[in-house]
Structure 1
Amino acid sequence: MKFDIAVIGGSLGGVQAAISAAKKGKKVYMCEETDWVGGQLTTQAVPPDEHKWIEEFGAAGSYLKYRQDVRDHYRNLPNISDEIKNKDRFCPGNSWVSRIAHEPKVALKILNSYLEPFIQNGNLIIDYHTVPVDSVVVNDVIQSVTVKSTKNHETKVIEADYFLDATDCGDLLPIVHAEYRTGAESKEETGELHAPEVGNPHDMQPITWVVALELNPEGDYKIPKPEKYEYFKNLDVSYDDNKLFSWYAPEAETQKKVLFSMFDNEVPGKPLGLWSYRRIIDTKNYKDPSVKEVSLINIPQNDFSLGNIYDDKDAEENKRLAKEQTMCLVYWLQNDAPRADGGFGYPVGLRPDIMGTEDGIAKAPYIRESRRIVAKKTICEQDVSKKFNKTPPTVKDSVGVGHYAIDIHLTTKTHSFLYDATYPFEIPLSAMIPVRLKNLIPACKNIGCTHLTNGCYRLHPVEWNVGEVAGLLAAYALDCKVSLEEILENRMEDFQQVLVKEGIQLHWDYTKMEV
């Protein structure tokens, strides 16, 4: 099967890569391990994490349009409140982590509507339940990638001029023998202030199996006690002599524990509870009061920091344990979680329909940290941190913008964590071009960053931007018959004009911002 561009992985970045390449008239192949595309937004069930300027600017134009399409979907629901119908800006779930927390199935519906025209005109073919397993590479050029169905085990050999790795874990990188890094680099390697003295490629951010729960006091909501419940309930965590299942979470600045609660205003001085943190359905937004509140549970208590799910001999067992940890958390919330009134347990039950699964847990774990290409440039802490820069840094080869703090959850080996301020940053094209392979482009969380800077480059708007640029980059290289390196060295301004015409913001306008 011969294509112009092959997108391996249907992540959020993968979807944008496929769309942007197909828009340029290229014949595109995409494969996805599950039966849904969309990664973070859909199969992993994580509402968008965004910066404070997102309503006005600071993302690709296509991402801003997506946000509007989400609101239009809810605004047009027959059961939505009149107040919501008449609002320009609203959060479907009234969450406090995201300005636009919404249901994974809504995200899937919208993303599929973007893909459908290219499927219909023959520019795009998508294989679901399909993963990469082998490759042929000659003289630093990927000739083909073999993909395999996880359903019937049939294989296909995909030939393409460019291969884009859009898997959430960078699964294509070892298959095509690309240079890549994992885990924490040492201070000697990167010069980063918060890097460890000794690097550890296995010290990665945790995964989280997100679960959808509804608030239903009348329902028969309780699940059987999971086998590993007592183990996870009493598991020691590394911050401030704490147990995993409690209302405490780590506070990065002090490295101590900080108290949270289930619901808003349940604890004096704590107006925001964890239930509303990633709530995606709020009863107050609907005319029918019987609509149940639903929240996506992705909190420190179900971050799995006991092992990794790639480049690890126990990868599959770690996946299973991570999922069981989440079910143990559900049992704790239903039975043993202390309430402010002195009782225990809350009336919350699983909502499998929200996730498109039988158990109410997401189709795939939330991946915070991927394999990362060794690129022409590696984005380091000093490139984005407020500690290293008196003013916001800019890059000449910018292909997009983003902003998020360096956010490292409890890691899998050293059990360290970090939250540190950054300036709004730009995405350098040089971090998207491998040091050796000529026709490989990262399109997800696998660009040339470090363990630390992955912590701020991994969020939804940035991954979307990277994916869209990856598709446009491959299309531009084909149209102009030039290499990726030539684009970086000799055609940067011309390529940037292409991006601007596609609605991609290249630089921040600090006259409109306080940083």
Structure 2
Amino acid sequence: MRHREERAQVVVCGGGLAGVSAAVSAARLGLRTVLVQDRPVLGGNSSSEVRVVPRGAGNYHAYARETGVVGDLLERERLLNHEEIFENGFTNSVWDLTMYDLVERTPNLTLHLNTAVRDVVLGAGQRIEAVVGYTASAETETTFSGDVFVDCTGDGVVAALAGAPWRMGTEGRAEFGEPHAPEAASDDVMGNSIHIKTKDVGRPVEFELPDWAVRYDDAAFFYRGGRRPSTLKGGYWWIEIGVPWHTIHDAETIRHELTRHALGVWDWIKNSDPHLRERARTYALDWIGQVPGKRESRRIMGQHLMTEADLFRAEPHRDEIAYGGWNIDLHTPGGLLAETSEPTAAEGHLTTAPAAVAAYVGPFGIPLRSLIALDVPNLLMAGRNVSATHVALGSVRVQATTAIMGQAAGTAAAIAVRDGVAVHSVASEAIDAVQQQLLRDGAFLPSVANADPLDLARTARVRASSTALAYGADPDAVGVTGGLGNHSKPGDALAEVRGQWIAVGTGADAPGLDSVAVCLTNPTPEARTIGARLLAVDHIWDYRIDDAPVLAKADLVVPPGERVWVTWDVALGADELGSSDDGVDVRYVRLDLDADPDISWHRAGSVVPGSVSGVRIASGRMRRYLDAVTLAHRVSPPQPAWPASQALTGVTRPHRSTNVWRSDPAQPFDQWLELAWDAEREVGRVELTFAGSVLREYDRCPPGYRDPQGARSYSIEVLGSAGTVDDGDWRRVLTVTDNAARRRGHDLPGVVATRALRLVVHATNGDPSAAVAEVRCYAEPLRA
């Protein structure tokens, strides 16, 4: 066997989405970084070996999709891939290659695949000096020494070998007062799954179950137990096995048991299922996984232990570095061996059912302290092995969330080394630097905005060629701004309180709000009266109902008829909507209608950017309505919802305001956004964030997808300096064509001295408006 040594500044162990994000982030900051992965491909549970669709907060909350490294990767995968995304089982190798390509293109980053960490070298004070990896295919043992280590192995292998404290199993309710915890503690963890994929071959195909597999013959096990095979495509996450086997030491036994049960499930669908067997005649089993996707094992103890209370916490963590928003998804111990599946599935995934209401959380902030290991002074972690209780892990374990935690861990590791800060002190001494770097690198933090002192755009005045106004949207509206198709359908009965977020202008120059109107259907022969309230909400995820400030309320009379527009004269002045010292500003109000099952409120035919809807799921609380749709409504006068100033708010998605400039869709391209300074500034780099790609989860996007709101072609122009030949003239310094990315950074051909800079959008990927969420300007090119 060969022995070798390799030195890096940051060593990341584990190549799932958390590890990839951590390694790329550290390397981009100039640190020599090594990524050690024990499988032949990257991506962990999301890879083509396991095929779990990356999920996160965007599955439950509008405009909550994760960005940064993972957002760029998912956006790129949809652009390049020919395959649709369908739940689990449909991930192909294009996704593996997308991650591999990014890693190989990242300077300062060295990748080692098929290399398992099997030992740790400790120095004084339990500090990790090196990890030892073994590459069986090359019969090579490599000692990777480094300054900081990041454990993204899932099972917490590095931490366990280093002697860091960890937990495994389920805490009892009394320990942390968690409502979702059972009365008694146990060794139970969530189980592992493998997936299957099928193919319609166009002719009858037989399937014979091997005699060593499990045979199913009870429809109630599936349809009453929350294991509904509602499609023939595969992707059944509930093919899950865990208890009574140990999720680490009995991994191969679990893999075999999963194979036995997966074949039995397909045999049931193919040969016995009363609802599907006829349709399944022409379907053949196309793929079955042999690398189980693991949900839970060791949880490394950190400086902060996330509990269920953190998922409902109102006060932000000072060291917020990521966010979550998946529900508290605690799978039933035993999986297929248990009586029923995961609780919300057993309820039929009804959003108003008790388990779903109790499990609905977020978005909530995640602190850096939960990524810093105790006792080991130079170890961070990211992934499902972070410092959390079993209950809290039920939410933060999903892959899009673990990926943004990985980006935070890699960034914190790099800043610790670069700035000479002890890892155990980063959360207190260097948190501002970590947060601002995360924002610059495309991440979103609910409680932190851009305050980068090097960003010249923050001191600029801004204006635009034109600005769109918000009128609302009709049921027959046709738009591409939502990016994901037309959602107009017959009105939905108001079985519960329903609300529509509306962006309004505030401040001295704002027009006020004279009236709002809603499109309703009343099929009864008599007029009906329905209560309406206009509420002041803090942000787009402010789901309060009873305790939100009321701006106006009324009883609306709904005459009989189909698609009746009911107008409410709210007569609110700009000062009643809010105030600002900076002229026109933007904030959200929410229009709520009371429940009346005889009345229907129609959906709009397009999504008004930044204005979506919610529905009550419990007293005093809402959740996103359907798949992030806009309800049919009109506002008068039209609202300045997307002024140029919204591109410099320091936030790059709808949150407390729309946070995007949109040009007037009636005006032809070119459209421009201009930054101007009182004196000349030297600009060497411009970083852009366009609108789009955050409204819904990425698996809602078809193959080859380009968000219509993105700029397809654009230029950067600078105003000529005084005393030069182009004094007072605009000079084009850069042009980009065929763009599909939401984020782009450009080093200019040379550092330029200018009093003004313009981003000129020549064309989008389909939207009639140019839409820009942020422009940053820096004196130094990134290559410097």
Equivalent residue, structure 2, for 1:267? none
Equivalent residue, structure 1, for 2:540? 512
Q: Which has the higher strand share?
A: 2
Query: CA separation in 2, counterparts of 1:169 and 1:400?
Result: 21
Query: CA separation in 2, counterparts of 1:348 and 1:331?
Result: 12
1:168–1:445 contact (8 Å) kept in structure 2: yes
Equivalent residue, structure 2, for 1:397? 319
Distance 1:326 1:226, change over 3 A: farther
Deviation at 1:127, TM superposition (A): 2.1
Tell me which of 32, 54, 64 is aligned to 1:48: 54
1:380–1:452 contact (8 Å) kept in structure 2: yes
Q: Structure 1, residues 261-297: CA drift from partner, whole Å, max 9, x if none?
A: x4xxxxxxxxxx344xxxxxxxxxxxxxxxxxxx342
Query: CA separation in 1, counterparts of 2:165 and 2:139?
Result: 28
Equivalent residue, structure 1, for 2:174? 188
Pairs within 5 Å for 1:241-390? 243=221, 246-250=222-226, 260=228, 262=229, 273-275=230-232, 295-300=233-238, 302-312=239-249, 314-339=250-275, 346-351=281-286, 360-385=287-312
Q: How many residues align?
A: 429
| Percentage of matched positions with identical amino acids | 21
Deviation at 1:344, TM superposition (A): 8.8
Pairs within 5 Å for 1:16-415? 16-42=21-47, 43-50=49-56, 51-52=58-59, 56-74=63-81, 92-93=84-85, 95=86, 103-118=91-106, 121=107, 123-138=108-123, 139-200=125-186, 202-218=187-203, 220=205, 222-230=207-215, 233=216, 243=221, 246-250=222-226, 260=228, 262=229, 273-275=230-232, 295-300=233-238, 302-312=239-249, 314-339=250-275, 346-351=281-286, 360-385=287-312, 392-412=314-334
Query: CA separation in 1, counterparts of 2:410 and 2:208?
Result: 44
Q: Which has the higher helix share?
A: 1
Q: Which amino acid aligns with 2:212?
A: E
Deviation at 1:224, TM superposition (A): 4.3
Deviation at 1:249, TM superposition (A): 3.2
Q: Which amino acid aligns with 2:364?
A: F
Deviation at 1:49, TM superposition (A): 2.2
Q: TM-score, normalised by structure 2?
A: 0.51
Question: Looking at CA atoms only, which structure, 1 or 2, has the larger radius of gyration?
Answer: 2
Distance 1:297 1:58, change over 3 A: closer
Query: CA separation in 2, counterparts of 1:454 and 1:10?
Result: 20
Name structure 2 gaps, 5 residues minimum. Answer: 1-5, 344-354, 449-537, 544-784
Measured on the aligned residues, the alpha-carbon RMSD in Å equals 2.8
Equivalent residue, structure 2, for 1:282? none
Partner of 1:404, secondary structure, is coil
Deviation at 1:450, TM superposition (A): 1.1
Query: CA separation in 2, counterparts of 1:493 and 1:102?
Result: 40
Q: Structure 1, residues 231-273: CA drift from partner, whole Å, max 9, x if none?
A: xx269xxxxx953xx33333xxxxxxxx84x4xxxxxxxxxx3
1:21–1:474 contact (8 Å) kept in structure 2: yes
Deviation at 1:213, TM superposition (A): 1.6
1:307–1:318 contact (8 Å) kept in structure 2: no
2:240–2:334 contact (8 Å) kept in structure 1: no
Q: Which amino acid aligns with 2:93?
A: K
Name structure 1 gaps, 5 residues minimum. Answer: 81-91, 236-240, 251-258, 263-272, 276-294, 352-359
Equivalent residue, structure 2, for 1:289? none
Q: Which amino acid aligns with 2:38?
A: E
Q: Structure 1, residues 400-432: CA drift from partner, whole Å, max 9, x if none?
A: 122111011121399585451212111111111
Q: Which amino acid aligns with 2:41?
A: W
Partner of 1:228, secondary structure, is coil
Partner of 2:9, secondary structure, is strand
Q: TM-score, normalised by structure 1?
A: 0.76
Query: CA separation in 1, counterparts of 2:260 and 2:376?
Result: 39
